[in-house]
Amino acid sequence: MTIQFFKQALAVSAALLMSAAHAQSESQDATGAQTRSSAQEAATEFPDPGRAWQKGGAAVDPQSVRQVAPGMDKDHVYALIREPHFSEGVFHVRVWNYIFQIEPESGGQPLACQYQVRFGDDMKVSSTHWRDASCARLVDPQEAAAGVVVGGGEGVALTIEP
């Protein structure tokens, strides 16, 4: 009877673990889906900047950000713009968030800009997003002009699509 009880408890535990893993993968799919419909883009949310471990953001070469493109793997993104600035992790996550300090070409104070890289099921970049359109214009005015502005999170997300 004791062995049977442990077998049943083990089976229930395994089922609960599988259910939790499935629920986690579903939430990751929702944040890193490859398809970019208007409804999904409207759900673009950025984390609270106060939660970043990289307080105040990091200086970035705009050329490096411009090079981040759909189809790139995480190693390539990391080589260009380093690790994400929030505690989302590096492996098996679908969204990396950053805060960059970007200096306007005309001079003046750097602007704190939130940037998001989304990865698809294949763990390659599926899309990138700016919280504010003004940041996208600082990095690449031509791409920003071609982008689609959609509502998102607490601000406006400018989505640069291939």
Q: Which domain does 153 fall in, by range?
A: 33-160
| Same domain for 140 and 85 | yes
| Same domain for 131 and 94 | yes
Domain count, the chain: 2
pLDDT the model gives residue 71:
97
pLDDT the model gives residue 4:
57
pTM above 0.85, yes or no: no
| Same domain for 53 and 26 | no
| Same domain for 85 and 59 | yes
Q: Which residues of the chain carry a pLDDT beneath 70?
A: 1-43, 143-162
Q: How far apart are CA 65 and CA 62, in angstroms?
A: 5
| Same domain for 7 and 77 | no
| Same domain for 122 and 71 | yes
Say if CB 158 and CB 133 are below 8 A apart: yes
| Same domain for 49 and 80 | yes
